[in-house]
Amino acid sequence: MAITITLPNINGTLEAGLAVGTDPSLAEAVRLPVWETATTANATKDAAQWVYEKFKNTPEAVLRTYINAAVICVQGGLCRKVGTSNDGDWKGTTASACTEFNTTAEEAARISGYISNDNVQKALTLIVATKANWWLTNHTGQNEVVGYTKKVLTIQFGMQLTSDIVTMAHTIGHWASTINVLRMANIRGIRNVLDASPNAAITITLSEDAKMRFNSMPTATHRLVVAYESAKRLTRSPVVKLCPGASDFASIVPMRAGVLESLSKHHIGASYLTGTDCSNESWRARVAIQTSHWGILPDGDRKS
């Protein structure tokens, strides 16, 4: 059914501010459709209508975020490909995904009313937050919400995070290309991605606050972080002279430097990010030997 959805003028640049692997992909039924052969404007309207019909029974604030997330995913080029494979839980189409829907003119006006520069920016910020969580924990926020995603959701929705809110955050985070967002965050050594909407109208940048979330050591390097911090404390302590083999901790410094030089190769999803077979078991084994020798526990404490 042909309807009219009005898109506000949100061309230009948007800045997002304020987490493959074990995080499960979305079911086919909720993967965002991207009309690849349409103009960016028509593809955006189609995605917004599809999202409205799929999620119109959710609370209004949740529905609004779903719709604005679809807008930024299409207009901001967040739906990307790595080679011929989609990076993110979206599906390319050669026709409208909404032919089966009987969306009314009143509902079309409701969709249009939800879309604004401010609402799109909020949805974008939430998407970026899920990618920061993935970088640090290998999860985008399914079930229990933690970290940056929780912070952003609390700011946008309040302290009571319902299952509808949590599911929405997980879903929209999966629509967007993880590699694309990490490239925006200046993570080096990761693969190139191709835009499914080559005429994207919005240029996305990340605020310094958002980039800061990606500056921490990635998931799978926690033991090295603990070993490094523990070694610093030990070597500054007067008892270090009484510890045989304390000089062995010196090897942790170059190990940490090597990880910092190429963070993507040391993420638990390194092969996905880089496109190469990255094996980091050697340095992990060395760290394990050091920490076990000194009785350092994962939280940085020492065994009694």
| Total Cβ atoms within 10 A of residue 31 | 17
Of residues 201 and 76, more confidence is placed in: 76
For the chain, give the percent of residues with pLDDT over 90. 43
Which residue, 33, 30, 45, is CA-closest to 75? 45
Mean pLDDT score of the chain, rounded to an integer? 78
The CA-atom distances, in angstroms, between 203 and each of 40, 75, 199, 260, 284 are 14, 9, 11, 28, 39
Give the pLDDT confidence of 232-287 residue by residue, as tens digits. Answer: 666 666 765 666 666 666 666 666 555 555 665 555 655 666 666 555 544 455 54
What does the alpha-carbon distance between residue 291 and residue 152 come to, in Å, rounded to a whole number? 35
The one-character DSSP state at 296 is: B
The CA-atom distances, in angstroms, between 129 and each of 18, 176, 181 are 7, 12, 10
What does the alpha-carbon distance between residue 65 and residue 53 come to, in Å, rounded to a whole number? 14
What pTM was estimated for this model as a whole?
A: 0.74
The model's confidence at residue 304, banded by pLDDT at 50, 70 and 90, is very low
What does the alpha-carbon distance between residue 162 and residue 271 come to, in Å, rounded to a whole number? 34
pLDDT, position 146: 74
Give the pLDDT confidence of 44-84 residue by residue, as tens digits. Answer: 999 999 999 999 999 999 999 999 999 999 999 999 998 88
Q: What is the dihedral angle through the alpha carbons of 23, 208, 75, 187, rounded to the nearest 10 degrees?
A: -50
Beta strand 85-87 pairing with 80-82: antiparallel
The model's confidence at residue 302, banded by pLDDT at 50, 70 and 90, is very low
pLDDT, position 174: 95
The model's confidence at residue 37, banded by pLDDT at 50, 70 and 90, is very high
Q: Inter-axis angle of helices 222-235 and 281-293, to 10 degrees?
A: 40
pLDDT, position 152: 93
pLDDT, position 212: 84
The helix or strand, by DSSP H or E, that contains position 84, with its residue range, turns out to be none
Q: Is the pLDDT of residue 9 over 50?
A: yes
Would you call 76 exposed, middle or buried from its count of C-beta atoms within 10 A (0-12, 13-18, 19+)?
A: buried
Tokens 């290309």, residue located: 177
Of residues 192 and 73, more confidence is placed in: 73
The one-character DSSP state at 49 is: H
